[in-house]
Structure 1
Amino acid sequence: MKEIINTDKAPQAIGTYSQAVKVGKTVYLSGQIPLVPETMEMIEGTFEDNVRRVFDNLTAVCEAAGGTLQDIAKLNIFLTDLGNFAKVNAIMAEYFEQPYPARAAVQISALPKDAEVEMDGVLELP
């Protein structure tokens, strides 16, 4: 049985998807871009500000599902410039403790709303 996860502390879905779907103790997190939940506008600032906003959005959805970022088993990172990967790595260390989740990072040509970064993942609740 699926449970739809929704919180106003993260951006609302801008398409035909849910913020997350919980099946048993597994939560599938939809992609988050650096949208400000209250305005649904892209955050202004540096690339690093964008990455932190994405992690903050993911945190809100994880918490709405009953977990934390630390419960993420698999994190996928999509970048429009893989040259920013070291910056993402440094910021990720601010949000995660060891053991770190499994992860993939790929460069793609474009993201919704011209975002430079998007992340999704799979969360396993304790």
Structure 2
Amino acid sequence: MKRVIATDDAPAAVGAYSQGTTTGDLVFTAGQVALTPDGDVLEDASVAEQTEQALDNVLAVLEAAGAGSDDVLKTTVFLADIDDFAEMNETYATYFRDEPPARSAVEVGALPLGAAVEIEAVACVPDADSESDPTEA
């Protein structure tokens, strides 16, 4: 059964989406850009700073679901300019030092709010409480 994840530690959804959703032991985050939890856009920030804010937002949503950076299975990084990959990657690597998750990184035509980077994640919630008893049929 789907459960919506919401936290004040990440920016509120600015459209028809949830910050995150979870089912069973999986949690899915919405794409996060360089928007502070207070709603301030870091439009003049470097790619490194935008990556840091996006990942801080992702981790806040994951923490609200009971997961952390070590539980991330897969991320997708959207870049407004693929030439920013190295700068993004340098910051990204500080968040996933040991056993990093699988990752895709792609260049896109444009990102919300003029962002240079948007990041989403899929994680496994450790010891997730099952919504239903698997022995019931």
TM-score, normalised via structure 1 length: 0.95
- Check conservation: 2:10, 2:36, Cα contact below 8 A: yes
The aligned residue for residue 74 of structure 1 is 74
Identity %: 40
**1:88 corresponds to:** 88
Q: In 2, distance between residues paired with 1:83 and 1:70? A: 28
Identify the residue that residue 49 of structure 1 maps to in structure 2: 49
- Which structure features the higher share of strand residues? 1
CA displacement at 1:41 relative to structure 2: 2.1
**Distance apart, 1:59 and its partner CA:** 1.1
Q: Does structure 2 conserve the Cα–Cα contact (< 8 Å) formed by 1:70 and 1:97? A: no
Look at both structures and tell me which one has the larger radius of gyration over its CA atoms: 2
Aligned to 2:33: 33
1:115 aligns with 2:115: yes
1:97 to partner: Cα distance: 2.2
CA distance in 2, matches of 1:45, 1:80: 14
CA distance in structure 2 between the partners assigned to 1:9 and 1:92 by the alignment: 20
Q: CA RMSD in A?
A: 0.9
Q: Contact between 1:58 and 1:69, CA under 8 Å: does it hold in 2?
A: no
For structure 1, which segment, 5-14 or 83-92, has the greater mean C-alpha deviation from structure 2 after superposition?
A: 83-92
SS of the residue corresponding to residue 66 of structure 2 reads coil
**Matches of 2:55 and 2:121, distance apart in 1:** 11
The count of corresponding residues between Structure 1 and Structure 2 is 125
TM-score w.r.t. length of structure 2: 0.88
Q: Aligned with 2:73: secondary structure? A: strand
For structure 2, which runs of at least 5 residues remain unmatched after alignment? 127-137
In the alignment, is the contact (CA less than 8 A) between 1:28 and 1:122 conserved in 2?
yes
What 5-or-longer segments of structure 1 have no aligned partner? none
SS of residue in 1 equivalent to 2:31 = strand
State the match for 1:100 in structure 2: 100
